[in-house]
Amino acid sequence: MSRYINEELRQLVIARAENLCEYCLIDLDDTFLGGEVDHIIGVKHLGPTTAENLAQACQRCNRNKGSDLGSIYWPTEQLVRFFNPRIDRWADHFALDGATIKSLTEIGEVTARILGFNSDESAEERAGLIEDGHYPSPAAQRRMSR
C-alpha cells in the first residue's frame, strides 16, 4: 500500500470536504495548524489510498487519531470504530452545544474522546471562533443539520 496521495486525488478530497476538517468541522482557514489528508483506515491496516478511504482533517484531529481505527467504549467495554466521514452522517453521531461537541452515539463518544474534540485547547479555539461568527461555517452547518 502506498501512502502517496497524488495532487488530483488530494484536490478531490479537499474540495469534497469544503475546506472543513471532516471530523470536528472546523474550517481549515480558521485553525493555526491547518489541515491534511487522512487515511480513514491507515495504510498499516492495509487501507487503500483511494477517494473512499481519504478525508480532510485538521492537524489536531489527524494527529490524535493516528492510525487508530476505534477505541473502547467503556460503559460496555466493547471496541467501537471511529466516525467515518465517507459512510456516516456527522449529525447522527454529534451535536454542537455551545462550544462543546456532544456525542450522540458510541461511535461519537469514542471519536470525540480520542480525537480530543473537547480538549481545553479545542474547546477554547471553538469558543473564540463562535464568538467571532466563524464557527460553525455555512458548510459545517449543513453537516450539523439532521
pLDDT for 6-51, tens place per residue?
999 999 999 999 999 999 999 999 998 889 999 999 999 999 999 9
Q: Find out whether the peptide bond into 75 is cis, omega within 30 degrees of 0.
A: no
Q: Considering the domain boundaries, does residue 2 fall inside one? A: no
Q: What's the number of domains the chain is made of?
A: 1
Taken in order 64, 145, 99, 127, the sign of the CA dihedral is positive
Let me know if residue 1 belongs to a domain: no
pLDDT at 73 over 90: yes
pTM: 0.95
Integer Cα distance of 96 and 80 in angstroms:
22
Q: What is the pLDDT confidence band of residue 99, given thresholds at 50, 70 and 90? A: very high
Please state, in angstroms and rounded to a whole number, the distance separating the CA atoms of residues 124 and 133: 14
Average pLDDT over residues 73-93: 98
Q: Is the pLDDT of residue 81 over 90?
A: yes
Q: Please give the pLDDT value at position 95.
A: 98
Beta bridge partners of 66: none
Residue 122, in any domain of the structure: yes
Please identify which residue in the block is written with the cell numbers 469534497. 16
Domain hosting residue 125, numbered range? 7-144
Mean confidence (pLDDT) of the chain: 96
Continuous H helices in 18-119: 59-65, 90-93, 106-115
